[in-house]
Amino acid sequence: MADLSSSFAGITSPNPFWLASAPPTNSAYQVNKAFEYGWGGAVWKTIGAPVLNACNRYGGFEHGGHKLVAINNVELISDRPLDANLREITEVKALWPDRAVIVSAMVESSPEAWRDIVRRIEDTGADGIELNYGCPHGMSERGMGSAVGQVPEYCTMITGWVAEAASIPVIVKLTPNVTDIVPPARAALAGGADAVSLINTINSIVGVDLDTFEIRPNVGGKGGHGGFAGPAVRPIALHMLSAVASDPTFAEGGLPISGIGGVQTWRDAAEFLLLGASNVQVCTAVMHYGFRIIEDLVDGLSNWLDAKGASAVRDIVGVSVPRISPFGDFDLSFKSVARIDETSCIQCNLCYVACDEGAHQCIDLTVDGARIDPATLADGVTPQPKVREGDCVGCDLCSLVCPVDGCITMVSVATDRPKVTWNDLVRDRSEVTTDWDAMLAYREENGIDIH
Amino acid sequence: MPETELTLEQLRDRFSETYPPYTAHEAAVEAGRCLYCFDAPCIRACPTGIDVPTFIRKIQTGNVLGAATTILESNLMGHSCGRVCPVDELCVGACVLGAEHRPIAIGRLQRYATDAFYQGGHTPFEAPPDSGKRVAVVGAGPAGLSCAGELARLGIRATVLEKEEHPGGLSTYGIVVLREPIRVSLEEVELVRRLGVDVQTGVRVGEDVTADELLASYDAVFLAAGTGSVPDLDIPGEDLTGVTEALSFIAATKLAEKDGLERLLDLPVGERVVVIGAGNTAIDAATVARRLGAQTVTIAYRRGDSEMPAYDFEVAFVRNEGVDFRLLAQPVEVLGEGGKVTGLRCVRMELGEPGDDGRRRVTPVPDSEFVLPCDQVIKAIGQSKLEPLFRAFRVDTERGYVKVDARLQTSNPKVFAGGDCVRLTGHALTVTAAQDGKIAAASIAAALGVPVGEGELPRGVSRSGAGRAGTHHSGAFAPPRSAPHAAAKGVGDG
């Protein structure tokens, strides 16, 4: 059985699953319960400046009858008194020496305020500090949260204050509400952080009530942007993770990354690990289903690691990062076409309409092998979709809309063309990349016929 | 007497719809499973050609009113059909997800949409200008109402004449409340009225108004009179107290739902009941008898298992209710004592070669008589034909049914006919009756010179009167294509 234990910036935990700083880590009651269920660590809900919350705080994003594909919130940092939080953190850490207890903090942007909070956090016996530079609502208007995370210079400066004062590891939590997440990550590195975590929530308005015209979540008739989290944000988080993980400057610093953003299952976690996260943090899935999901997170990840022959979590961290590539380095001679397995096809014809109207017109409806016009189809005749492989551009849309597992597969087909990338063309045949006639001549010369 | 008197709560429990309505979330989840097939087979499997994927998608987007309008555009009786259609034989049977054994619950979703629609009291279609043409419709069952409503959508005013106290035909009187509450068919009638149709009840054509009077004062007549009363068994003892017929038995439960469930307690139900016949009316009657407290209910049927006109799911349902079957049993005498039923004497039958209708013939086994002890006999042996009525309209008949062509025109060019009174072969379904009404309305409009735009033609009806692409719908007679065995099964019993 694979070793699931984790050491993140020197902070150890029995597994790589931490609860993210959020409502599930608001109290000793909750964190104790989570640890009883088996969570490896918890980042305490952000403590710091005094706040007063509003309600309603959450808005749900539903799709296709599935509740909470994402959640939007306008909840602030902990609204419990600082002393109460610090006392409970001390108790929890004393009870659970083998678990990671991290304290998220956010105070006004002064060296004194940060030094004070660092001292008080260290007094609890906590294993690390996470700097909340990501909260996009409520706190940012007060010059905290994402107001810091969005300005790399502030990020470096404040991280510097904390790193200087702290003897325990400092994790900087990055906001996704930037055009490029790499500069803030480099700024954290420059400020002396021991690790980064990403992503925090994404600015969003989750919806408008079509009966009342109110914004969701509705706060007494008003609403505004909040933080978006949950399964729907995962692809964005994976992109930002891969951008930081594959940045050479950041990589030189050797800081570990804690992956956050819509992790609901062990499969999601495995994707974060493959793209360079050393552990993951979970929030929305717990808000939806409770702490009990840890059982499958651990069990599923363990079984998958075993199936892949990995002896420990660290074996798979970052394994897919080298595959992240700019478009200019893609092999343009790689060719794939769609193939429909007619024995499992249920003739829903979704591939046909997707290809015909939404893509490149390479699938026909056929009866006894002959192409037919669906408008003149006789009753009682069920047509069979067929790919014209010679025309198929390999876009993959048909297999994405196909409801039957394994019915449409994309198969790679050999071409006699040598590997060539766009960057190769820019370097060796620059006229092809700037002039349409040259491009058409190049295609002719290489036998590239685009249907 | 049956078990101790049922409480009102028990009655409500036993005589309300079998399936609860979907919640909004249940509907959204089920609708979300629909693949929204291109050129979907469910559309083709629906006799009225409802655009099933479109209405399901509208449910999913929260456009429930639009979903109901899509249904009603193709089938004005969609409120009933969502409940009573044998969907496994039709749309659900054709669903491509049947391949993985989880087809979409199309009937439940249809019911969800039409329930919401009727709760809102909407009128889905704008009436075009009055063409000045007038049509009389005989019978306010699904075929008559569908035809009258479709005529209204073409600017032709129809007057529907119904002999019973309430309109709706078998939907109102003949389908057990577990499958269709009476309010459903009455709501459908109200919609047809809102479209501008004059529905008159308690009018007997042939008595209160003659066929000739109708032929003289209307531009066309649509005969949708269904069938007549249950015929006699023609066996001794039939007049004993305790012999009743199934339709009035079922009708009593329907009306009780409307007038007060406690009325059901006045319905005489035996302790040991025998139902004669194995069509869906027999199934419904047997169910009602059981639920009203009969200790044993036995369905006696003179043919074999595979000849039963009831659908398999109906047979399974009633077996689950605790009803027994006595197949190959031909009643020969109702036995009595002191004027009351004490048993049913039957003779055992033997299966032979298939007859003209594809069903195997039966012949009595000599010296095989036996007695089913009982104190009530319920007859569900099909209905008689209304031949005197048809003669009054001077239309040709075949084996008691009105003869029509593919456009549902009779031998009298002014008279069209549809529904159960023309259903010589195939299952007599609400949905086929509704489709007959549509076809007849288009044919009548064409005959009266009222322009029908191709876009305004009912779905599944082309200008030539033939079905889609002209390949099927030999009038209303084509059995549902996805129900290959349907053609082999006759109407009622036989």
Is the pLDDT at B62 greater than 70, yes or no?
yes
Write out chain A residues lying below 8 Å of B481, CB-based: 379-380
To probe the interface with B, which of A66, A210, A348, A382 has the most B CB atoms within 10 Å?
A348
- Overall average pLDDT of the B44-51 stretch: 96
The domains found in chain A, sorted by start residue, are 6-323 (3.20.20.70), 327-417 (3.30.70.20)
Task: Give me the residue spans of the domains in chain B.
Answer: 18-120, 134-228+384-479, 243-379
Write out chain A residues lying below 8 Å of B472, CB-based: 379-380
CB within 8 Å: A65 and B28: yes
CB within 8 Å: A349 and B99: no
CB within 8 Å: B38 and A377: no
**3-state helix/strand/coil string of chain A:** CCECCEEECCEEECCCEEECCCHHHCCHHHHHHHHHHCCCEEEEEEEECCCCCCCCCEEEEEECCEEEEEEEECCCCCCCCHHHHHHHHHHHHHHCCCCEEEEEEECCCCHHHHHHHHHHHHCCCCCEEEEECCCCCCCHHHCCCHHHHCCHHHHHHHHHHHHHHCCCCEEEECCCCCCCCHHHHHHHHHHCCCEEEECCCEEECCEECCCCCCEECCECCECCCEEEECHHHHHHHHHHHHHHHCCHHHHHHCCCEEEECCCCCHHHHHHHHHCCCCEEEECHHHHHHCHHHHHHHHHHHHHHHHHCCCCEHHHCCCCCHHHCCCHHHCCCCCEEEEEECCCCCCCCCHHHHHHHHHCCCCEEEEECCEECCHHHCCCCCCCEEEECCCCCCCCCHHHHHCCCCCCEEEEEECCCCCCCCHHHHHHHCHHHHCCHHHHHHHHHHCCCCCC
Q: Residue A375: what pLDDT?
A: 81
Distance from CA of B462 to the nearest CA of A (A): 13
pLDDT tier for residue B483 given thresholds of 50, 70 and 90 = very low
Tokens matching residue A18: 């931490």
Write out chain A residues lying below 8 Å of B31, CB-based: 65
CB within 8 Å: A347 and B36: no
- Quote the mean pLDDT of chain B: 89
Q: Residue B453: what pLDDT?
A: 66
The complex's ipTM? 0.75
Tell me if B134-228+384-479 shares its fold with B243-379. Answer: yes
- Overall average pLDDT of the B111-130 stretch: 92
Q: Residue B489: what pLDDT?
A: 33
- Overall average pLDDT of the B212-223 stretch: 98
CB within 8 Å: A348 and B31: no
Please name the residue of chain A whose CA is at the shortest distance from the CA of residue B30: A65
CB within 8 Å: B468 and A379: yes
**Distance between CA atoms of residues A14 and B182, nearest Å:** 64
Please name the residue of chain A whose CA is at the shortest distance from the CA of residue B472: A379
Chain B residues with at least one Cβ partner in A under 8 Å = 25, 28-29, 31-32, 35-41, 44, 60, 96-97, 99, 467-469, 471-472, 481
Write out chain B residues lying below 8 Å of A404, CB-based: 99
- Give the catalytic positions of A in this structure: 135
Query: Which stretches of chain A score pLDDT less than 70?
Result: none
Q: Contact, A51 vs A16, CB < 8 A?
A: no
- Overall average pLDDT of the B358-379 stretch: 94
Is the pLDDT at B352 greater than 80, yes or no?
yes
Q: Residue B454: what pLDDT?
A: 55
Q: Residue A237: what pLDDT?
A: 98
Q: Residue A136: what pLDDT?
A: 73
Write out chain B residues lying below 8 Å of A66, CB-based: 32
pLDDT tier for residue B121 given thresholds of 50, 70 and 90 = confident
Q: Residue B164: what pLDDT?
A: 96
Tokens matching residue B401: 């049914």
Q: What are the strands of the beta sheet with B296-300, ordered from one edge? A: B243-245, B376-379, B272-276, B296-300, B323-326
Please name the residue of chain B whose CA is at the shortest distance from the CA of residue A377: B469
**Distance between CA atoms of residues A164 and A159, nearest Å:** 8
Q: Residue B471: what pLDDT?
A: 31
> pLDDT by residue (tens digit) across B197-209?
999 999 999 999 9
CB within 8 Å: A379 and B44: yes
Distance from CA of B491 to the nearest CA of A (A): 24
CB within 8 Å: B32 and A64: yes
Give the closest of A353, A382, A404 to B38, CB-based: A353
Q: Is B58 helix (H, G, I), strand (E, B) or coil?
A: helix
CATH code of B243-379, in short, is: 3.50.50.60
Please name the residue of chain B whose CA is at the shortest distance from the CA of residue A63: B32
pLDDT tier for residue B3 given thresholds of 50, 70 and 90 = low
Is the pLDDT at B493 greater than 50, yes or no?
no
Homologous superfamily (CATH) for B134-228+384-479: FAD/NAD(P)-binding domain (3.50.50.60)
Cβ-Cβ pairs closer than 8 A, A with B, add up to: 54
Write out chain A residues lying below 8 Å of B60, CB-based: 64-65
Give the closest of A347, A350, A380 to B481, CB-based: A380
Q: Residue A65: what pLDDT?
A: 75
Q: Residue A164: what pLDDT?
A: 97
To probe the interface with A, which of B38, B97, B435, B481 has the most A CB atoms within 10 Å?
B38
Q: Residue B101: what pLDDT?
A: 79
Please name the residue of chain A whose CA is at the shortest distance from the CA of residue B42: A348
**Distance between CA atoms of residues B138 and B226, nearest Å:** 9
Distance from CA of A372 to the nearest CA of B (A): 13
> pLDDT by residue (tens digit) across B8-38?
899 989 998 999 999 998 999 999 999 999 9
Write out chain A residues lying below 8 Å of B471, CB-based: 378-380
Please name the residue of chain A whose CA is at the shortest distance from the CA of residue B60: A64
Chain A residues with at least one Cβ partner in B under 8 Å = 64-66, 346-350, 352-353, 365, 374, 376-380, 382-383, 403-404
CATH code of B18-120, in short, is: 1.10.1060.10
In percent, how much of chain A has pLDDT > 70? 100
